[in-house]
Each structure stands twice: as structure tokens, then as C-alpha cells.
Amino acid sequence: MNKLYSLEQNQGRRTTVLVGRIAIGQDFALIAGPCSVESEKQTILTAHLVKEAGANLLRGGAFKPRTSPYAFQGLGLKGLKILAKAREETGLPVVTEAIDPRDVGWVSEYADVLQVGARNMQNFSLLKETGKAGKPVLLKRGMTSTLDEWLNCAEYILAEGNPNVILCERGIRTFETHTRNTLDLSMVPAVKEISHLPVVVDPSHGTGRLSLIEPMSLAAVAGGADGLMIEVHYNPPEALSDKDQTLWPEQFGRLARKVLALRQFLGSLENIHAPA
């Protein structure tokens, strides 16, 4: 049986996911913002700064899937309300994570895109709920998942009647310890061979290292990614989560300008043909 995610099943047509005025898959999605929503000041200030630097979507977790139960768990509903205020002020649509199927209904009242995190990729009841929610879903690759498993999780959402799925490569766990995860950029063109769904890359969680985020962002763009998700904070040393992989707004601005320039250059290569 041909799956709904398959490019062939879709007669070779690529899906674009409309979020506000951005057609992800056609327009480049530059999703930026803090790891966690910490306060109104932190989120709104960061939202303005990432917008000025070139972001077209805002990220920020109100529900945080933390490794330790004693780590900051997020502000919950209060965080969602802060995100809605940031959207009102900046016009940036909001990408935020739901970690419990019971929360999906009301998280989707605040979110423009529901994020399913790496740790929840195969939470099938969560996938089914996000499939029913009527909002686009950003599905992160599980840290020990194969491409086939990841695409089958997208299928759970599509099978509920929600065609608006964006895949997000965020690195997998390997024997390498230098980086937080091994960012598997080969998945970008691999997904595009098999599926019509757009795919974005998260080099922040994918590397866990500040100095690697810009080069891996450029590599992702060169590989055909439809967007990037990057952690930015107005003052990273103060961040309550993932501060070591969080960019200063100026660093993100430089990255954004390079990404834009690289996309223009790559566009100019479209006209290059093999010699006859």
C-alpha cells in the first residue's frame, strides 16, 4: 500500500504548509526563539530581536520535555499566553510543543504550529490527537529512529486527515560524544526522494555546540532544507534551558544573512545544465 507521506502517492507534487502568510516548502522557514518561554519580558524581547534579524516564525517551549524531573518544566498555560502576546506584538506565528495528548486541544488554541518533540515521536496517541487538531504539526525525528519509523509517525498524523506535516531533523544518538547529537543531514535529500512533506533542520539540538550551528545551518540549506529551527535568547547566559547552544541575536542575524545569500546563490545554480 502506498502511504500518504509518499511522493509517488501524491503524483510527485510537493506539499506546502501554510502558516500565516508563509508557505513552508516554498518559502524558507526561519524559526527562531528561546528554548523555553521563561517570562513575558524574555520572550517578547527575544521575539522582536529574532524578527529584526530575519526570522519569520517564533519558537518557544511552554511545556518542556526535560531529562531530569527537577529541571525547569516550562510555564505551561502562562507560557502559551506569553507566546500569543509575542505573536500579537510581532506578527510572527508561533511554533510550540505539546507533550501530552490531553493538552493538544487547548495548546492548539494558542499555537500556529504544534511541535511533537524527539522524545515523543512515537507517542501514537499524541500523534493521533495532533492529527485531529487542525493545526500544522512539526514532527521531530526521534533520537534513535530510522527514516522509515519517522515517516510512519508522519503517517499517523496524515491518516487522521491533517495534511500539514513538517518534518524536522534534529540529530540522532550515536557513539560520538563531542556533539550533543549527530546531525544527520543526509536525511534532508533522503526525505525529499521519498516524501512530498517539507523538511526543516534544527542544528541547535542537532549539535549542542554554539560554534557548529552556523556551519551546519549552511550545510542544511545546501542540502535542500525547507527551513531551520534555531535557539536564540536575548541573553543566553541567563537561559533556563539549553544556554550552551543558544545564540545571541547578533549571531543569529549573521547566520540569517548568510542563509539568505546562500539560497540566492543556489537559486542561480538552477540554470546550470550538464554539457551536451
Binding region for ligand PEP (CB under 6 A) = 35, 61, 65, 97, 117-119, 140, 170, 202, 205
Sequence-separated (6 or more) residues with CB below 8 Å from residue 269 = none
Instruction: Give whichever of 71 and 261 is closer to Mn ion, judged by the CB atom.
Output: 71
Q: Given the complex with ligand PEP, which of 129 and 169 has the nearer CB atom?
A: 169
Number of residues interacting with Mn ion: please give it, by CB under 5 A. 2
First to last CA, the chain: 40
Give the SS3 label for residue 213.
helix
**How far apart are alpha carbons 19 and 189 in whole angstroms?**
23
Stretch that binds Mn ion, among 88-96, 122-130, 170-178, 242-250 (CB under 5 A): 242-250
Among 86, 88, 226, smallest CA distance to 165 is for 226
Is there binding between residue 62 and Mn ion (CB under 5 A)? no
Burial class (CB in 10 A: 0-12, 13-18, 19+), 68: exposed
Return the residue matching grid coordinates 509517525.
Answer: 153
Nearest residue to Mn ion by CB is 35
Which one of 9-17, 117-125, 141-149, 234-242 is the stretch in contact with Mn ion (CB under 5 A)? 234-242
Q: Which of 4, 17, 19, 35 binds Mn ion (CB under 5 A)?
A: 35
- Which one of the spans 22-30, 102-110, 142-150, 235-243 is the region binding Mn ion (CB under 5 A)? 235-243
Q: 17 pairs with which residues across the strands?
A: 24
Question: Which candidate, 29, 53, 78, places its Cα nearest to that of 234?
Answer: 53
Measured from the CB atom, the residue of 7 and 56 that comes closer to ligand PEP is 56
Is 212 an interacting residue with respect to Mn ion (CB under 5 A)? no
Q: Nearer to ligand PEP by C-beta: 7 or 82? A: 82
Nearer to ligand PEP, 170 or 233 (CB): 170
List for the chain the helix, strand, coil content (%; round to 5): 40, 15, 40
CB 67, min distance to Mn ion, A: 11
Q: Spell out the alpha helix ranges (H) of 36-92.
A: 40-53, 77-90
Query: Min. distance of Cβ 143 from ligand PEP in angstroms?
Result: 7
Cell numbers of 193, please?
A: 526522494
Of 103 and 242, nearer to Mn ion (C-beta) is 242
The footprint of Mn ion (CB under 5 A) covers 35, 242
